[in-house]
Structure 1
Amino acid sequence: MPKKSVRTLETTPLAARVPFREALAYWFKLGWLAFGGPAGQIAMMHHELVERRRWISEQRFLHALNYCMTLPGPEAQQLATYIGWLMHGTWGGIAAGTLFVLPSVLVIVLFGWIYLRFGDLPAVAGVLYGIKPAVIAIVVYAAYRIGRRALRNAWLWAIAAAAFVATFALRLPFPLIIIGAGLIGYLGGRYAPERFTLHDGEADGGNSALIGDHHATPEHARFSRARLVRYTIVGLLIWAVPFGSLVAWQGWNGVYAQMAWFSTKVALLTFGGAYAALPYVYQHAVEIHGWLTVPQMMDGLALGETTPGPLVKIVTFVGFLGGWQREALGPEALALAGTLGALVTTFYTFLPSFLFILIGGPLVEATRGAIHFTAPLTGITAAVVGVILNLAVFFAYHVLWPQGLAGPFGLDTLFNGFEWFSALLGAAALVALVRYQVGIIPVILACGAAGLVYAFALRPLLGG
């Protein structure tokens, strides 16, 4: 009798097992509760979809996650898109991925408006002063978390160290570092696979889930060359038509056309999570285009950490501030210009993630039980640790020496203008994160409150 029920389940359409309305309700809720970065978001989906609801088995969840981790872009959002697509086809994937991102975009636009309207108030400035050291601690903590999981042997430690030197001392472009690390991982997977193997963990081996280990792949998820070509063409058109319209409207050097091009490159280069893309985002948004300043970039990162959704939504913040501060629609329409910038950057940042799933998903489903494309990811992830540490050093310099170092390096110049309170607050935040496992949001809130107290009480008392 149990065998018959399993056989019947295998032939039942997945959409019939999980009603579309029920799935929509879950994706909508997840979008508002997706705090804690990709690790927290993936853990939340695993608990809900694998353990509680039993919509998908452990093994198939990990198989989908493995693919998403090899892609550029936000893996948690891509995983939601993949599972939504597996259950309800194209529209299921689009709905899941969109609802995962939409709440964070609304929050970013609202807070961006508050930030630009009231950011120069003493109370707001005091809170932001306290948050900046927390951002440094968070970035260091991210390198620690990734490094503890990824740097399992001397080879991977060497890749991380080389990536740090390449970014800090040699100033090599981020894409070149990623390509080099991926190539090393590929070669390592061929000639030293035991050093470059990602482990899926233990699978449950059962079929009690609605999408079980041995359940047949639904028709819409099976590979079809005609579907592959059709989806690729449609995807390119969805990218090209709005982009061409922006170029026709304001020219190639127009603010929105450049934002669309910049966001597309971010989407294709964010291997290893949003932290790995931050140096590239900083370089283009701050140094090349001048859409925002270094302090604004750090404030955006703090905002991204304290709001739901993938951290790469900091690009949405960049778009809002860039459109507003460049007065892209004239001085009378600043909020509208910022909102349009946020929409353009969000659309082009997340569009490739949808296409990767809808186009590549059928190929991945065909590889179940034979995952062999993770060795390059292992090399890239090791390099990401070094890149993130370089980012922490960069942020620390701008926070601890806001006026810069005057003169040659030495004790006198080192301590001249040094922000002792920021250093102590950042160290306390790092201890709270690493030693006591305090959540990121409580740490940011506590540091913001400490900055407020310092601005209104301690600094005047100390004569600062």
Structure 2
Amino acid sequence: MSTTTSTSLTELAGLFLRLGTTAFGGPAAHIALMEEEVVRRRGWLTQQQFLDLLSAANLIPGPNSTELAIHIGYERRGWAGLLVAGIGFILPAMLIVMGFAWAYEYFGTLPAMAGVLYGVKPVIVAVVGQALWSLGKSALKTLPLQLVAGAALLLGMLGVNELLLLLGAGILAGAQRWPTLPRKSVPPALLILVAAVAGLALLPTILGLGPGTHPAVGTAAPLGLLPLGAAFVKIGSVLYGSGYVLLAFLEADLVQRFGWLTQAQLLDAVVVGQVTPGPVFTTATFVGYVLLGWRGALVATVGIFLPAFAFVALSTRLVAQLRESPLAGAFLDGLNAASWALMAAVSLTLARTALLDLPTVLLAAGSAGLLLRYRINSAWLVLGGAAVGYGLQYAGLL
């Protein structure tokens, strides 16, 4: 752990509270914003350290951008930093989503957000693109790693499981380095990592918790704070992937298995998680509020994010040990290349949905120019994009 006294808990809290309030666009955008803030602006981490933590977050279940924030907090201020950074990133999003949930219950509909998203998404494309360029300098530093990243990008776009891509990339990079190593031995930390990730990947299937298990309809469970919290702890413990995977898990449990939500309520919850800043997993906050008011919102939020804190706490020392071995370090390099490729795949998908017409293309190009030329804080660009989009919607031009 590279804990230093130069980063106070107040600084950590201030940064991640701001990111939790302004970080629109999903995990890829969150990661890009964190890279800008902690690597290029503040120098808290090197590019290599940042990539190692990103790969570690990708290997464990749960919301990877939130887990990255938790990792960064631990690197800077140990266990206290772990809690401050993680809670700081989650809290603003939770409060914003609770506001949406109150409005939903009071008015029976969601506030119009189409204009805000129209203006924010092109800005996020530029922010993520800059982060990919910056991270690529460290992640793709050799031709073999560039080839690994290219293959992972192609397979990721074809829908291959992200864990298989990460492990495959790590194994390929390790195999490429193996002949040059003076000692042909596999470090225990690497064996533990591969075994743990394989176990986590198989856990939903072993326990019958996956979204494809098709639970029987009509097995409604009594609704209460404890069952609600347990349901979200389970989901947070086994879920890999995007907000669409979260939708599948929520539909399997809360709609089909327990009968707590309707399909329409679930879709509204996912929309709120997508259009608000901060972690997409705050969808749980909306669901909890709709079901059991503010107490339900708190319990559901704690439940779905609690496993992320536990998994990061268990994996922090393992990442540091991996860098101490040449073979394990090569494995991490492969993971970093694949993590870069997965982020690139998400950004390409985002670009296809964001760059719809001339105004959005101009917004993206203008944001990229301001980032590269003047290094403007991307939070201001995101807010500016939201204002432009809302203005166009208000003027009836969308």
What TM-score range do you get, normalising by the shorter chain?
0.5 to 0.7
Displacement of 1:256 in angstroms is: 4.4
Query: SS where residue 376 of structure 2 aligns?
Result: coil
In 2: Cα distance, 1:111 partner to 1:348 partner: 22
In 1: Cα distance, 2:47 partner to 2:360 partner: 40
Does the 8 Å contact 2:51/2:135 carry over to 1? no
Displacement of 1:314 in angstroms is: 3.6
Instruction: State yes or no: 1:425 paired with 2:359.
Output: no
The amino acid across from 1:385 in the alignment is W
Partner of 2:245: 284
Partner of 2:190: none
Instruction: State yes or no: 1:188 paired with 2:173.
Output: no
Does the 8 Å contact 2:232/2:304 carry over to 1? yes
Of 297, 305, 325, which aligns to 1:346?
Answer: 305
Identity %: 18
Q: Cα distance 1:45–1:299, how it changes in 2: closer, same or farther (>3 A)?
A: same
Within 5 Å, give how 1:218-367 maps onto structure 2: 256-265=229-238, 280-290=241-251, 291-292=266-267, 296-300=272-276, 303-304=277-278, 313-315=279-281, 317-324=282-289, 327-329=290-292, 333=293, 335-357=294-316, 360=317, 364=320
In 2: Cα distance, 1:437 partner to 1:46 partner: 13
In 1: Cα distance, 2:141 partner to 2:285 partner: 40
Within 5 Å, give how 1:16-415 maps onto structure 2: 26-34=8-16, 35=19, 37-40=33-36, 42-43=38-39, 68=53, 71-72=56-57, 74-75=67-68, 77-82=70-75, 84-85=77-78, 93=79, 95-116=80-101, 117=103, 120-122=110-112, 124-169=113-158, 171-191=159-179, 256-265=229-238, 280-290=241-251, 291-292=266-267, 296-300=272-276, 303-304=277-278, 313-315=279-281, 317-324=282-289, 327-329=290-292, 333=293, 335-357=294-316, 360=317, 364=320, 373-399=328-354
Partner of 2:380: 442
Q: Cα distance 1:353–1:338, how it changes in 2: closer, same or farther (>3 A)?
A: same
1:225-248 superposed Cα distances (whole Å, 9 cap, x missing partner): xxxxxxxxxxxxxxxxxxxxxxx9
In 2: Cα distance, 1:151 partner to 1:63 partner: 11
Q: Cα distance 1:146–1:322, how it changes in 2: closer, same or farther (>3 A)?
A: farther
Does the 8 Å contact 1:292/1:318 carry over to 2? no
Does the 8 Å contact 2:116/2:386 carry over to 1? yes
The amino acid across from 2:283 in the alignment is V
In 2: Cα distance, 1:296 partner to 1:392 partner: 21
Q: Cα distance 1:421–1:178, how it changes in 2: closer, same or farther (>3 A)?
A: same
Does the 8 Å contact 1:64/1:79 carry over to 2? no
Displacement of 1:284 in angstroms is: 1.2
Structure 1: tracts of 5 or more residues without a match: 1-16, 49-57, 86-92, 194-247, 270-279, 305-312, 401-417
TM-score in terms of structure 1 length: 0.56
Aligned length: 314
Structure 2: tracts of 5 or more residues without a match: 20-31, 58-63, 182-220, 252-265
